[in-house]
Amino acid sequence: MFFEYLIAGFLVMAGLFGFVGSFGLLKLNDPMSRLHAPTKATTLGVGGVLLASMLHGVVVEGHLSLHELMITLFLFLTAPVTALFIAKVHIHRHETKTSLPKAGEDGIWATHNVTETKEAPAEDQQQG
């Protein structure tokens, strides 16, 4: 019984955080802030569901399956990359060198670090 309540608790928490994540996407009014919202969906939202699923497997179905851990692993690996890229898109399109804080000793953030396009190469160069 305890486990059922636990499972239910995980599920409710997951639902709430999942909802809030997407709600934030609508509610928050600046693009970078919106980027924060889905992080919740991936962590506690999906995490809760996965936990519930694992517990459910053990408790209700009666066999241990941990492959939900794989999903968690992949999500933790990929979500930061996703966020990074979306942030870069924002920086690329809307932030300038001055609108961001100083980049320390390197002077410039990577997204803004555009090397000038090289001279058009001669046609006879062979392809690598």
Partner 1 sequence: MRLFRRLLPHPILTLLLTLTWVLLTSTWTLNSLVFGFLLGLLIPFLTQPYWPQQMRLKNPLMIIEYILIVLYDIVVANLVVARIVVFKPNAKRQPAWVAVPLDLLTPEAITVLAGTITMTPGTVSADVSAEGHALLVHCLDAPDPNAVRDEIKQRYERRLKEIFE
Partner 2 sequence: MIITYATLFAFVCFALAILMNLWKIISAAEIADRILALDSMFINALALMVLYGIALGSEIYFEASLIIAMLGFVSTVAYARFILRGNIIE
Partner 3 sequence: MSLFLIAALPFLGAVFPALLIRAGRNASASAAGLTSFLAFVGLMLHAPAIFRGEVIQVGVDWLPALGLNANFFLDGLGFLFASMILGIGLLIILYARFYLSREDPMGQFYTYLLLFQGAMVGIVLSDNILLLLVFWELTSLSSFLLIGYWKHLPEGRQGARMALAVTGSGGLAMIGGMMILGNIAGSYDLSVILQNKDLIQASPLYLPALILILLGCFTKSAQFPFHFWLPHAMAAPTPVSAYLHSATMVKAGLFLMARLWPVLAGTPEWFYIVATTGLVTMTLGAVIALFKDDLKSLLAFSTVSHLGLITMLLGFGTKIAAVTAVFHIINHATFKAALFMSAGIVDHEAHTRDIKRLGGLRHLMPVTATIAIVAALSMAGVPPFNGFLSKEMMLEETVHTLWGGSHYVVPGLALLAALFSAAYSFRFIGHVFLGPIRNDYPAKPHDPGFGMWAGPAFLVTLVVLIGLFSAKLAGPLVAVAAGAVIGGAELPYYSLKLWHGLTPALYMSGVAVVGGLLLVKLHAPLIRAWNAAPRPEAKQIFDALMRGLTKLSQLITDGLHNGAITRYAFVMMLFIIGISYYAYASGTITAPTREVQSVGPITVIAWFCLIVATLAVVAKHRQRQLSLVLIGVVGLVVSLGFNYLSAPDLALTQLSVEVVTMVLLLLALNFMPKDSPIEAPMWVRLRDGGIAVVGGLGAAALIYALMLRDFALPSISEFHLANSYKGGGGTNVVNVILVDFRGYDTFGEIIVLGIAALVIYALTEAVLGSRVRAYLLNRKPDMPQDGDAHPMMMVVATRVMMPLALMVAAYIFFRGHNLPGGGFIAGLIAAIALLMQYMASGFSWASERQRMFYHGTIGSGVLIAAATGLGSWFSGSPFLTSAFGYLHWSPLEEFEWATAALFDLGVFLAVVGAVLLALESLARFAWQPGMSSEHAMDINPARDDAAEAAEAKGEA
User: 3-state class of 78 per DSSP?
Assistant: helix
Distance CA 70, CA 46 (A): 13
User: In angstroms, what is the minimal distance from the CB of 64 to partner 3?
Assistant: 17
> Closest CB to partner 1 among 3 and 78?
78
Q: With CB under 8 A as the contact rule, which of the stretches 4-12, 29-37, 120-128 interacts with partner 1?
A: 29-37
CA-nearest of 50, 62, 60 to 11 is 50
Q: Which stretch binds partner 2 (CB under 8 A): 86-94, 101-109, 119-127?
A: 86-94
Answer with the entry of partner 1, partner 2, partner 3, none that 100 interacts with (C-beta below 5 to 8 A by kind): partner 1
CA separation for the pair 126, 128 (Å, rounded):
6
Sign, CA dihedral 48-53-58-63, equals negative
Binding partner 1 (rule: CB under 8 A), the pick from 6, 11, 55, 91 is: 91
